[in-house]
Chain A
Amino acid sequence: AQTVTQSQPEMSVQEAETVTLSCTYDTSESDYYLFWYKQPPSRQMILVIRQEAYKQQNATENRFSVNFQKAAKSFSLKISDSQLGDAAMYFCAYRSAFGGNDMRFGAGTRLTVKP
């Protein structure tokens, strides 16, 4: 079964600085999707960014970008110009492209933004 590992339980960043959250995954499949979700104190899960494994180009959404290294099975999230509203739990998730609904989540990284 696929597993997703987030090795940083907590991270902190100064406002306006850049921070990178790590995620690695284990799979034998060649095609899949990767996601980063944000969970603020309200606890609603919000999609941050999505990456298709067959695309070599790294996904970008405004201040959020990923570094997708398929061979290394690594999918890190970079947040640029950090804002106070970025403070939240961030979850990395993996989903197979071959059917079923086998979406796997990491344990999360809690990001604190210091003013």
Chain B
Amino acid sequence: DGGITQSPKYLFRKEGQNVTLSCEQNLNHDAMYWYRQDPGQGLRLIYYSQIVNDFQKGDIAEGYSVSREKKESFPLTVTSAQKNPTAFYLCASSISWEETQYFGPGTRLLVL
């Protein structure tokens, strides 16, 4: 089955803690993206990667970090510097940057 998987489905973070959200795709897509969705709002871009070992900041990158060591994986770390991390996080991928983005099922992050 080809697709995008995100884990965990729910994640709890304590104050001052870094947490990492997983995103994996087996679609052989070059480009991958991380979005944040807050209640009643659309998606906002955190980071994106057009190719392995390269990534760029989106609109709201502060307090987040990413890596792209493998084509199929694009993990997102929410650092302690992100003061309001409670949100729904969506990962997406596309064949190339010009093509349509397809989304994973998302991770809900809550702060304890």
Q: Is the CB of B100 within 8 A of A103?
A: no
- Asked if A35 is at the interface of the complex by the 8 Å CB criterion, the answer is yes
Q: Which of B19-27, B43-51, B61-69 participates in binding chain A?
A: B43-51
Chain B 30-55, CB-CB to A under 8 Å as 1, else 0, gives 01010000001111110010100000
Residues in B neighbouring A107, C-beta threshold 8 A: 40-42
**In the complex, A56 has a CB within 8 A of chain B:** no
Q: Are A101 and B48 in contact (CB under 8 A)?
A: yes
Q: How near does chain B come to A109, taking the closest CB pair, in angstroms?
A: 11
A37→B1 CA distance, assembly (Å)? 22
Residues of B contacting A44 with CB < 8 Å?
A: 103-106
Contacts of A104 in B (CB 8 A): 42
Report the interface size for chain A: residues with CB under 8 A from the other chain.
24
Q: Does B101 contact A (CB under 8 A)?
A: yes
CB-based contact A101/B103 at 8 Å: no
Which residues of A14-57 have CB atoms within 8 Å of chain B's CB atoms? 33, 35, 37, 42-47, 50
Query: Once the chains bind, are A101 and B42 in contact (CB under 8 Å)?
Result: no
What's the count of A-B pairs with C-beta under 8 Å? 50
A residues near B58, Cβ cutoff 8 Å: 101
Which chain A residues lie closer than 8 Å to B100 at the CB level? Answer: 33, 35, 47, 50
- In whole angstroms, what is the CA distance A106 to B43 when docked? 8
Given known A43-B105, A44-B104, contact A101–B90 (CB-CB < 8 A): no
Task: Identify the closest chain A residue to B49 (Cβ).
Answer: A101
How far is it, in angstroms, between the C-alpha of A65 and the C-alpha of B90 when the chains are bound?
26
| Residue ranges of A at the interface with B (Cβ–Cβ < 8 Å) | 4, 33, 35, 37, 42-47, 50, 91, 93, 97, 99-108
Smallest CB-CB A-B distances: 7 pairs = A105-B42, A45-B103, A101-B48, A105-B43, A44-B105, A107-B42, A43-B106
Instruction: Knowing that A4-B42, A35-B100 touch, tell me 4 more A-B residue pairs with CB under 8 angstroms.
Output: A42-B105, A45-B43, A47-B102, A107-B41
Name 12 A/B residue pairs within 8 A (Cβ), A-sorted.
Answer: A42-B105, A44-B104, A45-B90, A47-B102, A91-B43, A99-B97, A101-B33, A101-B50, A102-B45, A103-B33, A107-B41, A108-B40
